[in-house]
Amino acid sequence: MPDSPVLGPLTHVSEEEQMFRESVREFARAKLRPQVHSMDEAGRFDPDLLRQFFEMNLMGIEVPENLGGSGCGFFMSILAVEELSRVDPSAGVIVDVQNTLVNNALMRWGTEAQKERYLPRLASHALGAYALSEAGAGSDAFALRTQADLKGDRYVLNGHKLWITNAAEADLFILFATVDPALGYKGITAFIVEKGFSGFQAGKKENKLGIRASSTCELVLENCEVPRENVLGEAGKGYKVAIETLNEGRIGIGAQMVGLAGGALEAGIQYAKEREQFGQPIARFQAVQFQIADLATQLEAARLLTYNAARLKDARLPFVKEAAMAKYFCSEVAERIASQMVELFGGYGYTKDYPAEKYFRDAKIGKIYEGTSFMQLQTIAKVVLGER
């Protein structure tokens, strides 16, 4: 298989995809934007907006039609995440986790019975979450300590999870635990855990710097009983589920950062056209023009990297390096653009009355979750050097 096809055909957006993009963009501007500030201040996502995500079929984009989804490709999910994130990256990550992590894990690794039971719920009304991280298992994801003991026809899980996106509202969790710590990563197992299972609860909600409307919580498992048939994949093969799903999820974070950067730059351009100094809009000053031109070029490069990785995934071609590059570069560009837009807005950029400061706060997480920038560089280096 070729390492990577030519960029051009992969980054083309079809008429159908463009129509979908425009519908999500219109929704984000009309329904989402009026609530961005209040949700950020409250640290809570409006449940009515979440309901509308399901009504718009944004939560089961790749789920087959016979299971209640839209039956579209991965690229459509990326477009949805990007457009929502232009207005509010908190909304973007909710849709991202649902589609690129939870749904994808079930579609790839689930049994037919699991798919028939859970995918229609995820496509219609149930929010999903992905529970891998723990206090001592961040970049070293497989150092997790949550224990799963087989007792008859069920596993009993004990432990704590941290930094779990969507946890406050989620109905279903793809959760990782070890069936035998002595086996190292070969003991890691993925489970499908329902919110109502005995011994399971969402704990403390984090008070975060950015993407505040998106919930991030700890999970507490105290003798949590999970039916044996809720093992996702095979016992001891959870590391494969995690690695392969996160490779896809990183493209989603790239799309979130592209959307964020695009929204920040769009707001800055509008402000530059309206703000007058020395008798003319600041957009007429060459220094401002060059700054915007440079940032627009970086944004387009980030978008192309993300689209290319998504197209490779849809084409079932190798995309691990491209996903890592997209996640790494897009998070760098998003932080850079958001920061410079604060400066472009001047004193106003430092206040909550204008959007620049929120984009700046939201951008920081891009370098941290779903694999830090250092972890992405490590992955890229291994592929480029032929070690993977």
- By annotation, the residues acting in catalysis are 370
Phi/psi at 206 (nearest 5 deg)? -75, 140
Cα–Cα distance measured from residue 237 to residue 370, given in angstroms and rounded to the nearest whole number = 20
Contact 191, 161 (CB under 8 A): no
CA 102 to chain centre: 11
At CA 102, angle to CA 99 and CA 106, rounded to 5?
110
What is the rounded CA–CA span in Å between residue 170 and residue 214? 11
Alpha-carbon span 13 to 10, nearest angstrom: 8
Residue 20 belongs to what H/E stretch?
A: helix 15-27
SS (H, E, C) 108-165: HHCCHHHHHHHHHHHHHCCCEEEECCECCECCCHHHCCCEEEEECCEEEEEEEEEEEE
The residue among 294, 264, 258 whose CA lies nearest residue 361 is 264
Comparing CA positions, the residue from 324, 325, 304, 318 lying closest to residue 10 is 304
φ/ψ (deg, to 5) at 149: -110, 125
* CB proximity list for 44: less than 8 A, separation 6 or greater: 213, 215
Integer Cα distance of 15 and 221 in angstroms: 47
User: Among 86, 79, 71, which Cα is nearest to 265's?
Assistant: 86
